[in-house]
Structure 1
Amino acid sequence: MTREGGCLCGAVRFKAEGEPINVRICHCRNCQKAMGSPFFARALFNQNALTVAGNTSRYASSEAIDRVFCTTCGTRLFSWRTNGTVAGVALAVFDDRNAFAPTEHIWVAEKMAWVKLEDGLVQYPGTVPP
Structure 2
Amino acid sequence: MAQEQARNESTEGINAWKKRAPYRIHEPNENFNARYEANCHCGRVKYEISRKEPLDSKLCHCTTCQTQHAAPFQWAAIFHKEDINFAKGHHDLEWYDPTSKSVEHKLPCKVRCSYCHSPIMDEGRNMILLFPSLIHLKTDEDRALFKPRYVYPYSIFSHN
TM-score scaled by length of structure 2: 0.63
**Structure 2 residues not aligned, in runs of 5+:** 1-33, 101-106
User: Secondary structure at 2:94's aligned position in 1?
Assistant: strand
**Structure 1 residues not aligned, in runs of 5+:** 115-130
Measured at CA, do residues 46 and 62 of structure 1 come closer, stay the same or move farther in structure 2, by a change above 3 Å?
farther
Task: Note if 1:75 corresponds to 2:118.
Answer: yes
Deviation at 1:62, TM superposition (A): 3.2
Matched residue, 2:54: 20
Matched residue, 1:60: 97
CA separation in 2, counterparts of 1:15 and 1:23? 17
Deviation at 1:71, TM superposition (A): 0.7
Matched residue, 1:88: 129
Greater Rg over alpha carbons, structure: 2
Aligned-pair identity (%): 21
User: Secondary structure at 1:34's aligned position in 2?
Assistant: helix
Deviation at 1:59, TM superposition (A): 0.3
Question: How many aligned residue pairs are there?
Answer: 110
CA separation in 2, counterparts of 1:7 and 1:38? 21
Query: Where is the strand percentage greater, Structure 1 or Structure 2?
Result: 1
Matches within 5 A, 1:112-123: 112-113=156-157
Deviation at 1:65, TM superposition (A): 2.2
User: Secondary structure at 1:41's aligned position in 2?
Assistant: strand
Q: 1:103 aligned to 149, 155, 158, which one? A: 149
